[in-house]
Amino acid sequence: MSLEMNSLARLERAVRDGQIAPVTCAACGCRLEASGTADDAPWFHFGRLGGRDARGDRPLCLDAAHDRGGRPILAG
C-alpha cells in the first residue's frame, strides 16, 4: 500500500525554518491561496471580500497577485 500525495495540498504549503506552513504574504503576513493548480499560478489573499482580508484588515497588497514566495506582484 502506498500513500498518494494530494497535488493541491502540495501547492498550499511552504517550508519555513524546516517546518511545513501555509503560504503567507511577505508584505503583511496574511495567508494566501493559489488561484489554480499550475506551479506558476498567482496567489491571492485568503477570504478577501469587500476590500478586506479574512482578518478584516485592509492591506495595500490585498488585490495584488503574489508569487509562490508570497511577494506581491505589483504593476510597474
Which pLDDT value is given to residue 12? 57
Residue 64 lies in a domain: yes
Q: With left for phi above 0 and alpha for psi between -120 and 50, is residue 30 left, alpha or beta?
A: beta
Structural domain including 28 reads: 23-76
Residue 11 lies in a domain: no
pLDDT in tens, 22-63: 889 998 888 998 888 777 789 998 888 888 888 888 888 888
Residue 6 lies in a domain: no
Number of structural domains the chain divides into: 1
Contact 29, 55 (CB under 8 A): no
